[in-house]
Amino acid sequence: MLSSIILNTRFGDSKEKPTEEELLNAINEIYDENRHDLTEADYKEHPNAWLNYGYEDKDMWTVFTLDVYRNGTILFTKYKDQDDDEPEFEYTITNTNKDKAIELWKLLCNGNIDNVLNHFTHRS
């Protein structure tokens, strides 16, 4: 099965098949807002980073996204096809820390969709 993993960092970098170090650096950008060259407005303008995991399913690409926000919110979204505007599902957890975020990203990188879903017990 053909698959794709793409990390989109808070400030616009995109990395295919990110390493564990790249994942951790992207999470640190979200949770450690200590850059002296950035203002609160800069942080608000770029509040999140996300990881896409997709796989080819017949003639479509199914895509899962784990979107991590600076306020500790994480969205887990599934699109039946990469061209869909509306998700098949979207679940939310709040008040997370960077350890939880990196754990979820690692699970998604490994294609462990069911394990990721288990973390979203309060699905919306």
Domain boundaries, the chain: 3-118
pLDDT recorded at residue 1: 63
Q: What is the pLDDT of residues 30-79, one digit of tens each?
A: 998 888 887 878 778 889 999 999 998 787 889 999 999 999 999 999 99
Give the integer Cα–Cα distance in Å for 42 and 23: 21
Cα separation of 91 and 38, whole Å?
31
Is the pLDDT score of 123 beyond 70? Answer: no
pLDDT at 96: 93
Report how far apart the first and last C-alpha atoms of the chain are (Å, whole number): 30
Q: Using an 8 Å Cβ cutoff, are 108 and 116 in contact?
A: yes
Query: 18: closest CA among 6, 3, 30?
Result: 6
